[in-house]
């Protein structure tokens, strides 16, 4: 029955996606409503709403991918034009690469420039016309059909995966309805029932055109939270899909995250901060108190970004969960994170032959990390403080790596970078000491250290004049100080039999 319903709704979803792509930029509320009315006749109003919403999300995602593709092409074209304009063999600066090494490389890159300009023109024309290229089931699986031997699949195996990926068995939740969903309903004891589309109503085995599955489900992860939602009739969305390789059916439940809580920066800093340094294979974290001092030992949360997209996403979620729970146990309410964006750094035209470096930069999941971390932190009532990533690794290694290294602890560059990020999130400077005043030993140009403010220097405060201190002493004790404030210039007179005589003042014109 799941195969039958999924195949029927998948065909409707494919037809609706075709209609949406044909509308292009002329899409509006009227065309959306017309598509939903056409689908309602062959399914139901709730099935039609889920299909049209999924179609709209897929088209919007394709448009975002198209815009990102245009930005990548534009970045590569500008970099190629810059390097081609330089003489062959010219050295580059710190912020910009130089010319190409040989005339042969210059010629090859000039041809690549022409190819990128042609791709850019075609992609821009598609964007202006509202055309997107979408494949229901995935373009990767579609291209696998032409390389079955390399994928280790037969044509029959590939066909099963292709059909399963194009089925549609998803339903959005609805608050106020029984157990939060009328299309795919799951009771607290795990019973699953599906509202059959109109053409398949004859297969119903329950009232109101519903089909009850023989198997029951259970949620090991967040099962208590799910049970609270359905008992309160709050919206829960469900998706049923088949894993062809394992031969198992899965049901996924999802619901809206709580609104991300905003907190004043002073309140977030009051309880300290956890500084996090993002790397290609791990998070380096260190707990800092409100004054910017590292507390305890540094921590590392590793993840493996090889394999499929679902495996990478699971690794990121697992590492973020470990990080958030450790930060919660540390007693902080905020996490300091670099506001990284490597969109312009991943182009092959900027770094040239540095393939390993490009792969390293591309492997850091900055965009997905920020989205996952913000949403998951909201669940634990924590906030994220994004800081400028400039010089955090360099200054952290320069000012914090050596002082934090002990005979029993080897502080790495990533650990010191986490301290630098946390201090910047707390509003403290990263560098531990400024250059001494150039004039003399007095603090004529301000206080020597940047850690202590000029308003509350404490013991380092400038001492008051001696006369003021003597006056305060007389007022408090009622006595007069007999010792001179400074030692006078005296001479020993050998004829005065041990008496001290004040030396006369030197008078000059």
For residue 336, the domain's CATH number is 3.30.420.140
Q: For the chain, what is the total number of helices (H) and then of strands (E)?
A: 16, 13
From the list 87, 33, 27, 37, the residue with the least C-alpha distance to 58 is 27
- Predicted confidence at residue 485, as pLDDT, reads 43
Let me know whether 55 and 119 are in one domain: yes
Residues forming a β-bridge with 334? 383
Over its length of 509 residues, how does the chain's per-residue pLDDT go in tens digits?
Answer: 999 999 999 999 999 999 999 998 988 889 999 999 999 999 999 999 999 999 999 999 999 999 999 999 999 999 999 999 999 988 887 777 888 989 999 999 999 999 999 999 999 999 999 999 999 999 999 999 999 999 999 999 999 999 999 999 999 999 889 999 999 999 999 999 999 999 999 999 998 899 999 999 999 888 888 998 899 899 999 999 999 999 999 999 998 876 666 778 888 888 899 999 988 788 899 999 998 899 989 999 998 877 777 787 888 888 889 999 999 999 898 999 888 654 545 555 655 566 665 555 555 666 667 777 877 887 788 888 888 888 888 889 888 988 899 888 899 999 999 999 999 999 888 876 655 555 555 555 555 555 444 444 444 444 455 455 555 555 555 555 444 444 444 444 444 444 444 444 444 44
Question: What angle do the packed helices 413-426 and 392-399 form, to 10 degrees?
Answer: 110
Q: Are residues 127 and 52 in the same domain?
A: yes
Residue 89 lies in a domain: yes
142 occurs within a structural domain: no
What does the pLDDT read at residue 83?
Answer: 92
Q: Is residue 500 part of a domain?
A: no
Residue 485 lies in a domain: no
Nearest 5 degrees, angle CA 361-CA 367-CA 372?
Answer: 125
Query: Residue 272: what are its φ and ψ, rounded to 5°?
Result: 95, -175
* Secondary structure class of 319 (helix, strand, coil): helix
Residues 282, 413 within the same domain: yes
Tell which of 215, 231, 254 closes a domain.
254
Residue 139 tokens read as 């373009």
Residue 179 sits in the same domain as residue 239: yes
pLDDT, position 438: 59
Total domains in the chain come to 3
Which among 381, 404, 426 is the end of a domain?
426
In this structure, the answer to whether residues 193 and 223 fall within a common structural domain is yes
Domain presence at residue 381: yes
Report the distance separating Cα 136 and Cα 20, nearest Å: 13
- Name the pTM for this structure: 0.65
Residues 221, 275, single domain; the answer is no
d(CA 428, CA 201) in angstroms, rounded, equals 66
Say whether both 220 and 243 belong to one domain.
yes
The pLDDT value recorded for residue 443 is: 54
Instruction: Tell me the C-alpha to C-alpha distance, in Å, between residue 81 and each of 86, 136, 248, 342.
Output: 9, 37, 53, 21
Say yes or no: 222 and 317 in one domain: no
User: Does some domain include residue 123?
Assistant: yes
Residues 349 and 221 grouped into a single domain: no
Give residue 249's pLDDT: 94
Q: Is residue 148 in some structural domain?
A: no
Q: Do 417 and 316 lie in a common domain?
A: yes
In terms of Cα–Cα distance, which of 20, 365, 14 is closest to 162?
A: 14
3-class DSSP state for residue 253? strand
pLDDT of residue 434: 55
Whether residue 278 sits in one domain with residue 232 = no
Res 483: pLDDT: 46
Beta partners for residue 386, in sequence order: 337
What's the confidence (pLDDT) of residue 355?
62
Query: Which residues span the domain enclosing 248?
Result: 169-254
Single residue among 134, 151, 182 that ends a domain in this structure: 134
Q: Rounded to the nearest 5°, which phi and psi values hold at 88? A: -65, 130
Region of residue 436 (phi > 0: left; psi between -120 and 50: alpha; otherwise: beta): beta
CA dist list (Å): 505 to 250, 488, 489: 103, 11, 10
Considering the domain boundaries, does residue 145 fall inside one? no
pLDDT of residue 499: 46
In angstroms, the Cα distances linking 39 to 32, 86, 87, 183, 194 are 11, 59, 62, 15, 18
Whether 419 and 317 map to the same domain: the answer is yes
């Amino acid at each position: 029955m799941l195969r039958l319903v999924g195949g029927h709704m998948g065909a409707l979803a494919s037809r609706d996606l075709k209609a949406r792509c044909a509308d292009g930029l002329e899409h509006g509320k009227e065309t959306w409503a017309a598509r939903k009315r056409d689908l309602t006749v062959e399914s139901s109003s709730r099935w039609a709403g889920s299909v049209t919403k999924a179609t709209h999300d897929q088209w919007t995602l394709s448009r975002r991918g198209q815009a990102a593709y245009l930005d990548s092409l534009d970045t590569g074209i500008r970099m190629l034009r810059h390097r081609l304009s330089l003489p062959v063999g010219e050295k580059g600066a710190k912020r910009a690469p130089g010319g190409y090494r040989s005339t042969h490389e210059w010629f090859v890159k000039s041809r690549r420039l022409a190819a990128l300009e042609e791709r850019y023109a075609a992609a821009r024309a598609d964007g202006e016309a509202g055309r997107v290229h979408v494949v229901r089931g995935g373009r990767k699986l579609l291209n696998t059909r032409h390389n079955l031997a390399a994928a280790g699949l037969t044509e029959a195996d590939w066909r099963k995966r292709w059909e399963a990926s194009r089925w549609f068995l998803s339903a959005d939740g609805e608050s106020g309805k029984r157990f939060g969903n009328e299309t795919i309903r799951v009771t607290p004891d795990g019973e699953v029932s599906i509202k059959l589309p109109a053409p398949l109503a004859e297969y119903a085995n329950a009232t109101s055109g519903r089909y009850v599955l023989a198997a029951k489900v259970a949620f090991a992860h967040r099962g208590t939270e799910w049970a609270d939602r359905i008992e309160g009739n709050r919206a829960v969305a469900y998706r049923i899909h088949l894993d062809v390789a394992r031969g198992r059916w899965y049901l996924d439940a999802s619901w809206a995250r709580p609104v991300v809580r905003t907190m004043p920066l002073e309140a977030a800093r009051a309880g300290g901060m956890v500084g996090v340094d993002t790397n290609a294979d791990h998070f380096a974290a260190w707990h800092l108190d409100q004054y910017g001092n590292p507390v305890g030992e540094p921590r590392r949360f590793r993840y493996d970004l090889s394999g499929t997209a679902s495996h990478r996403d699971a690794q990121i979620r697992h590492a973020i969960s470990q990080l958030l729970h450790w930060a919660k146990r540390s007693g902080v309410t905020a996490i300091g994170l670099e506001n990284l964006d490597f969109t312009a750094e991943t182009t092959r035209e900027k770094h040239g032959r540095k393939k390993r470096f490009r792969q390293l930069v591309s492997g850091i999941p900055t965009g997905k990390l920020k989205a996952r971390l913000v949403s998951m932190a909201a669940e634990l009532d924590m906030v994220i403080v994004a800081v400028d990533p400039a010089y955090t690794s360099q200054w952290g290694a320069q000012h914090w790596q050596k002082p934090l290294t002990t005979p029993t602890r080897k502080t790495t560059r990533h650990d010191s970078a986490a301290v630098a990020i946390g201090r910047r999130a707390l509003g403290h400077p990263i560098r531990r000491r400024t250059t001494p005043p150039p004039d003399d030993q007095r603090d004529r140009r301000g206080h020597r250290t940047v850690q202590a403010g000029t308003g509350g220097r404490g013991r380092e405060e400038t001492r008051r004049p001696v006369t003021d201190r003597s006056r305060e002493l007389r007022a408090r004790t009622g006595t007069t100080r007999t010792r001179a404030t400074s030692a006078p210039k005296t001479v020993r007179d050998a004829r005065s039999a041990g008496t001290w005589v004040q030396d006369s003042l030197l008078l000059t014109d």
